[in-house]
């Protein structure tokens, strides 16, 4: 699959709108805890600046759901971007309001403007054509470099692409790199191929789990989502996170795995806590013995050992979702140990998802991974064989 290439655009001195993914994780003090997504966009931004373009950047941050919510202001991103680019970044105080339109129109060559959080406008997630039109009116060229959101048919990702012809739109370098990497991974993964899937809920990754089954040899489940499976297997899971409406789906996944000969692993022990807090009382218990009223917040040491064994012969690892509540030190151990093991292996190791990328960076093993994708949901959808709505309009049609 070949994408419209930014290098083929006649950009010199023109105004370019670049959709970026600056949806970065923040700590409890409002600091950016992992700026990988911002750094990953620099190649495309610098390329445009080297062409003397006036550069308009836009991204979402969090889920403000169409309202202006101060804590989701993109201002911290503008500050970090300014440090990384070593040049001034103008910030518009709205998205398509008076300020943004005036600043975009006055923007000169080699200047950079960042719009406020796209999701302050409800039209963004609704893929509203009027909103796309307003965004498109700011620039002569459109570049999508927001891999992490390319699986969403949103106004700045999908709708806007219809307002530029093939000579005026393209994929940025980051988007190209991600699509190429996953293209190769789907076509010919070196086997055995294991997926480590964690995070909070089954619901967010249900389809991905089903679609990954025919492609992988092993699935290792951790995080909150494991408890829906454990409950379905008849275990008493106490007050652990569970999605009762998905018990049947969990059974279906386990049945499918069996049918396809995919080895399906669940935690055999957990760190159980009496409450969801750093100062909780906690203990290691087997999956059979979670005390009533307690919740499993991490995988236990026996599971870590089991998962290491299971990963020993693996040649390709895809990891999406933490094994526990890694944000709290007390429940980060399982994720940390798996991170070290994956990092030390000679397999091709692919990490996807904001949380998992944040996790491996906190552990300090990010440099050891083969590839850290800036998109969790997007990378899973690619592996499922889907064509992403934000990428489809940028594919070069074969003659
Ligand atoms: P997701 O966004 O679905 O990938 O989930 C990531 C979140 O899952 C992280 O913020 C973790 O704190 C959370 N998480 C992981 N394990 C558990 C667990 N056992 N119980 C509750 N939350 C969890």
Whether the CB of 96 sits within 6 Å of ligand 1: no
pLDDT given for residue 399 in this prediction: 61
Whether the CB of 201 sits within 6 Å of ligand 1: yes
List the catalytic residues.
37, 201, 354, 377
| Protein residue closest via CA to atom 12 of ligand 1 | 325
Domains and CATH numbers, the chain: 6-174 (3.40.50.1260), 181-383 (3.40.50.1260)
| Protein residue closest via CA to atom 6 of ligand 1 | 199
Mean pLDDT per 10-residue section of the chain, whose length is 399 residues: 95 98 88 92 98 98 95 96 97 98 98 98 98 98 97 98 98 96 88 95 85 93 97 97 96 97 98 97 98 98 98 96 95 98 96 89 94 91 89 88
pLDDT given for residue 122 in this prediction: 98
pLDDT given for residue 240 in this prediction: 98
* Most informative mutation of 25, 26, 200, 238 for ligand 1 (most atoms within 8 A of CB): 200
| Protein residue closest via CA to atom 1 of ligand 1 | 199
Query: Which atom of ligand 1 is the closest one to the Cα of 223?
Result: 16
CA dihedral sign of residues 240, 243, 246, 247: positive
């Amino acid at each position: 699959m070949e994408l419209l290439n930014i290098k083929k655009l006649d950009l010199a001195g023109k105004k370019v709108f670049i959709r970026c993914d600056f949806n970065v994780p923040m700590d409890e003090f409002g600091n950016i805890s992992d700026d990988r997504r911002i750094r990953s966009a620099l190649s495309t931004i610098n390329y445009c600046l080297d062409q003397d373009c006036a550069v308009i950047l836009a991204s979402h941050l969090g889920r403000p759901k169409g309202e202006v919510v101060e804590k989701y202001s993109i201002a911290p991103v503008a500050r970090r971007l300014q440090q990384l680019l070593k040049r001034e970044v103008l910030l518009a105080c709205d998205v398509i309001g008076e300020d943004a339109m005036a600043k975009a129109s006055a923007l000169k060559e080699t200047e950079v403007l960042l719009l406020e959080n796209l999701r302050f406008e409800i039209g963004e997630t609704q893929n509203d054509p009027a909103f796309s039109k307003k965004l498109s009116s700011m620039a002569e060229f459109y570049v999508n470099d927001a891999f992490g959101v390319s699986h969403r048919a949103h106004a700045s990702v999908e709708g806007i692409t219809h307002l530029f012809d093939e000579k005026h739109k393209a994929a940025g370098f980051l988007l190209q790199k991600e699509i190429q990497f996953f293209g190769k991974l789907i076509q010919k993964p070196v086997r055995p191929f294991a997926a480590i899937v964690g995070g909070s809920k089954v619901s967010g990754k249900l389809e991905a789990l089903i679609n990954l089954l025919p492609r992988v040899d092993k699935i290792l489940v951790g995080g909150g989502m494991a408890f829906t499976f454990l409950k379905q297997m008849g275990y008493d899971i106490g007050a652990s996170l569970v999605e009762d409406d998905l018990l049947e789906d969990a059974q279906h996944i386990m049945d499918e795995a069996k049918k396809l000969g995919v080895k399906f692993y669940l935690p055999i022990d957990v760190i159980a806590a009496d409450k969801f807090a750093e100062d909780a009382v906690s203990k290691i218990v087997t999956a059979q013995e979670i005390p009533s009223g307690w919740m499993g917040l991490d995988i236990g040491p026996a599971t870590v050992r089991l998962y290491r064994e299971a990963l020993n012969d693996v040649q390709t690892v895809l990891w999406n979702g933490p094994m526990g509540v890694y944000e709290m030190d007390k429940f980060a151990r399982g994720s940390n140990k798996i991170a070290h093991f994956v990092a030390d292996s000679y397999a091709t190791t692919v990490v996807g998802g904001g949380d998992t990328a944040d996790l491996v960076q906190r552990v300090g093993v990010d440099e050891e991974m083969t590839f850290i994708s800036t998109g969790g949901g997007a990378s899973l959808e690619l592996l499922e064989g889907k064509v992403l709505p934000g990428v489809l309009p940028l594919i070069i049609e074969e003659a």
